[in-house]
Amino acid sequence: MVRRLLMILSLALGGASEMDRRMSCQWKKNGILLTVMAVVTAVGQFSTARHLQGQLLQKIRTEASGEVAPETDPPPDKKKNRSDDHHRSHDHRDHGNDWSLIGFFFNQNGKRNSGHRDCEYENDIDYEIYSSSAPKSPVLFAGRPYALGRGILLDENAVLAGQKSQWRAAFWYGTDFHQIDSWNLHGRYENSSVIGFDFQWAHLTEKLLGLPDDHLNLGDFNLTTRLIESEDLILRLGAGGNFLSDRNASFAGYNLTSSIDWFPVEPVVLSFEIDYGKVGSIHQTHLLATAGVTRNHLEFLTGYESRKLGSTVLSGPLLGIRAWW
């Protein structure tokens, strides 16, 4: 009798443990299934978001060609009304300002001319002063930052060791940490006169999930003039052209540029550039700021770059190198 009770008890316990084991396995299977479903759902949502946010380069092409997406194009009547209101509210004031400035300019010139006509003695003195001024020494370059002075330009005590022209070329990689990467090349030439030349080329790559990568080339070239030139600071203004191209089409337009090179303390170089212009049917604004450390003829730099092309903004950090010679 006791043996039978023990056998029944052992069978009962064994069945319970077997049931627990089966239930545990079932829970594990359900957990794995739920985890897989959650991962698939997250990937799908991410893929949808990437597709919704993607194709920025195609959007730039479309706007540059003059075709505006319906959701970004205001209704014709509203846009026309805003344009008419803007012109009606500002035309009179703007023309008034223009004419007042022109009148002020001619009035001042007239006063100066009448003063010279009324007092020939003062005119003779001014002529003698200007004619006796010493000619400005030609600008020479050090070849690389901080080589022979505080910056790239040389002072009067070191002109014999300088060179008449200065070249520089920079290469950097930029990214927005999301879907746009860029490879950039920038060059600048300057000489003893205030006239120089610069250009920039950017190759943009857009990563599209499930689609081939998209590519676009942007560039500009400018003639520049130095407004401020000292050992520590150079300020330039310039004008030139923009271009946008890929394997299917190309667009061009004008460009206005301003740039600053600042040499605060060896071996640091700070550079800033802003461009504004038009390419195709859209306007472009380009901002570039870099901070570098020089070693001999090389500058190791980092910074930030931002472009606004039509309604699309591309921006992010950069890392690169610049050579001076």
Task: Pull the structure tokens for residue 213.
Answer: 């990568």
Task: Pull the structure tokens for residue 141.
Answer: 């370059």
Distance separating the N- and C-terminal Cα atoms of the chain: 106
Most confident of 26-30, 101-105, 118-122, 208-212: 208-212
| pLDDT-derived band at 171, boundaries 50, 70, 90 | very high
- Tokens 């950017």 -> residue: 202
Nearest to 56 by CA among 316, 287, 253: 316
Nearest to 172 by CA among 297, 285, 303: 303
Residue 163 is classified by DSSP as B
Nearest to 223 by CA among 238, 237, 201: 238
3-state secondary structure labels for all residues of 75-138: CHHHHHHHHHHHHHHHHHHHHHHHHHHHHHHHHHHHHHHHHHHHCHHHHHHHHHHHHCCCCCCC
Element (H, E) at 289: strand 282-295
Nearest to 172 by CA among 11, 37, 292, 12: 292
Tell me the torsion sign for CA atoms 247, 304, 289, 184. Answer: negative
pLDDT of residue 105: 40
Task: Pull the structure tokens for residue 216.
Answer: 């676009």
Alpha-carbon radius of gyration of the chain: 34
pLDDT of residue 248: 83
Per-residue pLDDT at 157 exceeds 90: no
* Contact call for residues 56 and 312 (beta carbons, < 8 A): yes
The count of residues in the chain is: 325
Q: What is the rounded CA–CA span in Å between residue 184 and residue 171?
A: 6
- Cα distances from 49 to residues 179, 214, 312, in angstroms, run 12, 17, 17
Per-residue pLDDT at 30 exceeds 70: no
- Tokens 């001042």 -> residue: 108
| pLDDT-derived band at 320, boundaries 50, 70, 90 | very high
| pLDDT-derived band at 14, boundaries 50, 70, 90 | low
| pLDDT-derived band at 45, boundaries 50, 70, 90 | very low
Residue 153 is classified by DSSP as B
pLDDT tens for each residue of 70-101: 444 444 554 445 545 555 544 444 444 444 44
Burial of 260 (0-12, 13-18, 19+ CB in 10 A): middle
Q: In whole numbers, what is the pLDDT of the chain averaged over residues?
A: 76
| pLDDT-derived band at 112, boundaries 50, 70, 90 | very low
pLDDT of residue 162: 83
Per-residue pLDDT at 48 exceeds 60: no
Q: What is the DSSP string of 193-260?
A: SSEEEEEEEEEEEE--TTSPPEEEEEEEEEEEEEEEE-SSEEEEEEEEEEEEE-SS-EEEEEEEEEEE
| pLDDT-derived band at 119, boundaries 50, 70, 90 | very low
Q: What is the rounded CA–CA span in Å between residue 306 and residue 275?
A: 11
pLDDT of residue 174: 97
* Contact call for residues 302 and 322 (beta carbons, < 8 A): no
Task: Pull the structure tokens for residue 223.
Answer: 């003639």
Chain Cα centroid distance, residue 67 = 24
pLDDT tens for each residue of 237-285: 999 999 999 888 899 999 999 999 999 999 999 999 999 999 999 999 9
pLDDT of residue 133: 47
pLDDT of residue 148: 82
Q: Which residues contact 163 (CB under 8 A, 6 or more apart)?
A: 140, 141, 142, 143
